[in-house]
Chain A
Amino acid sequence: MTKAIRRVPSVLALSAAAFASLSAHAEWGNLNMPVGVTELSKEIHSLHMTIFWWCVAIGVFVFGWMIWSLVAFRKSQGAKPDTTMVHSTKAEIIWTVIPVGILVIMAIPAARTLIAIEDMRGSEISIKATGYQWKWQYEYLGEDVSFFSQLDRQSDEARQLKSGVDPNSVQDYLLNVDNPMVVPEDTKIRMLLTGQDVIHAWWVPAFGMKKDAIPGTINELWFKVDAGKTGIYRGQCAELCGRDHGFMPVVVKVVTKEEYKAWLAAQKAAASPAPAEAPADAPAADAVAALPAAPRG
């Protein structure tokens, strides 16, 4: 007994230390959808918040009603049941019509955003992304630029079964690639998506967009990163695609228009000259790491 009591402070200290170490790299605050860096992702976020608050409002009413009943009509407090209360057409009309109204209110902005999402007109750059087990290929259509993008070596070593490498010691563990896709800011980019072997899905949460890359089909999506939002944005394959589904990240580097032109020119220069030269089909990974990380990074 006394032994147990003496142990209490040390247990408390231990759990406090454990909690502190958890909050050291704390991501406890990751509770909600990030706002994103494109107009569409902001609209999607605001739809998400609107429907969320509607749910909260309905929840307060419904859960309030339930809790009220459970407290006020307890048998232990001598509540007598009113067995005549079995039906009310008026109540039923009310709780059918009001939800329909709320749904209509929600459906209108949702439909408006959806129409904008599906509007592919006026894109300036088209990039075809092909999902492979387990990497992405990016082809800049009309530019003769094409390269593969797969999990960076550091993450790949750390993610092996019982590797002994602490994932916390790897920068952007599982969210970093050797060759990221590069796009300019403030430009409407159209992505064409397809799969080589099985179905994959291309997802960058900061762009608000996810779409399946399906063999035999070409899907489209578009995004336009706001001016001034250069940086690196990270996502993952979002459709189960086999053993290494968890290990094919999507990384997009957003640069200024000038930097993009320079990058594209360098890519072409590297790809076109003498075949003697090693085909350097992408920028060096360290160039990516040198850039400041985006808020979502």
Chain B
Amino acid sequence: MANSTTAHAHDDHDHKPHGIKRWLYATNHKDIGTMYLVFACAMFFMGGAMALVIRAELFQPGLQFVDPGFFNSMTTMHALLMIFGAVMPAWTGLANWMVPMQVGAPDMALPRLNNFSFWLLPFAFTLLLLTLFVPGGAPAGGWTLYPPLSLQAGDSFPLTIFAIHLMGISSILGAINVVVTILNMRAPGMGLLNMPLFCWTWLITAYLLIAVMPVLAGAVTMLLTDHFFGTSFFTASGGGDPVMFQHIFWFFGHPEVYILILPAFGVVSEIIPTFARKPLFGYESMVYATASIAFLSFIVWAHHMFTVGMPLAGQLFFMLSTMLIAVPTGVKVFNWCATMWKGSISFETPMLFALAFLFLFTLGGFSGLMLAIVPADFQYHDSYFVVAHFHYVLVPGAVFAIMAGVYYWLPKWSGRMYNEKVGKLHFWLSTIGVNVLFFPQHFLGLAGMPRRIPDYSTQFADWNMVSSIGAFIFGFSQLLFVYVVWNAVRSGEKAPARPWEGAHGLEWELPTPAPYHSWDTPPPRNVITQGAMH
């Protein structure tokens, strides 16, 4: 410990470029990680504002604020911004910050590529957001872009497609960087099975990204040629099949779901052991469970489209393979429970968010299991029950895990502690808000309310009102998050090198704040074995 601190003392007078050039020409993993996180935060608020437009319109039956067409644009843009703009860049940002520090590397393996993959994003989202101002309005056919409806879009169509292409290239390059860093830049002595789970889950996520982002690119390119060049891949009148798009899309789309959630498993697997002061239970089975989930994600895609009229054998296959996912996911939840068992648990903000993840992600898993039962899915499909399900796994799932990660590592990044009181306030408002927001949507769906409708029958009025109230509580309490982070970075108390007494892993062996270049010299082996104690 003391050794490594002195060994890195020279990093402090490491000169870095100043002003705008530091960010424009950034090749440093920490600077790029910060840019990713700030970008994700901006998109989170923009997508959140759109969600609030949706919930404001749904506060009461009748149309009070927006035209149905604009409402559809809001649901479409909200999803695209949150998935591609907020959650995925946030994970890449965390990977940028943490992977080199955790594997004992000085930086990411491909720093210039890193710069390029980040700087594609602002252009991609400028294109996407421009669609709000073009004739015909923003895309309104749902983020899934199902033809023939998506082909009815106005001038927004090519902009949306090119934006998705740019996001896809950015994700693939980011993923390649993570794979190369993890496979080639680990410190001598750090085997793959010594890595922290965050690196493992990200390694698997990166392979998923490399496998499926080209599939999405292909699907949207076929849409583009259908629209502009007279092909009919998906146009029935020309011999094409709209259902084929859905198969291709969900072959991307289901692994995408795990791209959003696997890194969350990694973060939670770091945080729970730290605050239970006990090594992660069943480390290897966690790795294998993650790999099995990733494998299964490739053979369950059609459970998103049970109602398109598949052959019986197909429906049975996709039902069974989907149910199977519950097994490795269950293994993970049980391992987290066993990690806390006989631990010594304290409840700092990162742990609170990780615990909320544990409870609410499991709840989302239950509704997922219900959705796997095909006959019942015929009722649930495209109803608010589905909306409740995927928001439970995405908001208190992925988003809470991102926030947990930020609270957990912020002292290491900035050298300063956040305000624990405000952090806890943020946690409680978020957790209460998110449940008031999404839990009633289970009821709405079961009672028969379809999703993606701007107005509804009066029998759905009560729970919609409750849900909207929850949305505003949740949405506005996220301003606290920005305040906490800002306040910590500006004027937080100085943080020690290891602010959490139970924290293990190479990142905590570095001085605080982390030096500009993480591990100029590889960490000594005893530090690795000490740090990699799971």
Residues of A within 8 A of B (CB): 22, 25-28, 30-34, 40, 43-44, 47-48, 51-52, 54-55, 58-59, 62-63, 65-66, 69-70, 73-76, 79-83, 85-88, 91-92, 95-96, 99-100, 103, 106-107, 110-111, 113-115, 117-118, 158-163, 165-168, 172-175, 197-199, 201, 203, 205, 208-212, 214-217, 219-220, 235-247
Contact = CB atoms under 8 A, between A and B. Distances in A.
B326 A203 contact: no
Contacts of B363: 59
A201 B382 contact: yes
B61 A114 contact: no
B242 A81 contact: no
A246 B309 CA distance: 23
B289 to A, nearest CB: 9
Contact of B277 (A22, A81, A96): A81
Contacts of B316: 111, 114
Contact of B69 (A166, A241, A243): A243
A85 to B, nearest CB: 6
A103 B323 contact: yes
B351 to A, nearest CB: 10
A162 B237 contact: no
B94 to A, nearest CB: 25
6 contacts: A47-B375, A73-B341, A85-B281, A92-B285, A95-B334, A114-B375
B119 interface: no
B355 interface: yes
A69 B343 contact: yes
A208 B307 CA distance: 12
Contacts of B381: 210, 238
A10 B13 CA distance: 65
Interface string B218-250: 000000000000000000110011110000000
B279 A83 contact: yes
A95 B328 CA distance: 10
Contacts of A63: 359, 362
B312 A158 contact: no
A114 B315 contact: yes
Nearest to A204: B448
A113 B375 contact: yes
A79 B316 CA distance: 48
Given A66-B358, A91-B338, A238-B381, A25 B307 contact: no
A237 B448 CA distance: 11
Interface in B320-336: 320, 323-324, 326-327, 330-331, 333-334
Contacts of B447: 27, 30-34
- 5 closest A-B pairs (Cβ-Cβ)? A216-B236, A246-B453, A219-B309, A30-B447, A82-B342
Given A58-B366, A210-B307, A110 B460 contact: no
| Consensus secondary structure, chain B interface | helix
Nearest to A209: B378
Given A219-B309, A240-B142, A62 B63 contact: no
Contact of B369 (A55, A81, A87, A215): A55
B370 to A, nearest CB: 5
Interface of B: 61-64, 66-69, 72, 140-142, 146, 148-149, 152, 236-237, 240-243, 276-285, 307-309, 312, 315-316, 319-320, 323-324, 326-327, 330-331, 333-334, 337-338, 340-346, 355, 358-359, 362-363, 366-367, 369-370, 373-376, 378-379, 381-383, 443-444, 446-448, 450, 452-463, 465, 534
A205 B385 CA distance: 13
A208 B309 contact: no
Contact of B62 (A43, A166, A245): A166
A80 B343 CA distance: 7
B281 A215 contact: no
Contacts of B240: 216
A245 B453 contact: yes
A79 B338 CA distance: 15
Given A110-B376, A118-B315, A215-B242, 16 more contacts: A27-B459, A32-B443, A43-B375, A58-B366, A62-B334, A75-B344, A86-B280, A87-B284, A168-B458, A173-B457, A205-B448, A216-B236, A236-B448, A238-B450, A244-B68, A246-B455
A68 to B, nearest CB: 8
A107 B345 contact: no
B374 A110 contact: yes
A211 B309 contact: yes
A64 B327 CA distance: 19
Nearest to A168: B458
B68 A243 contact: yes
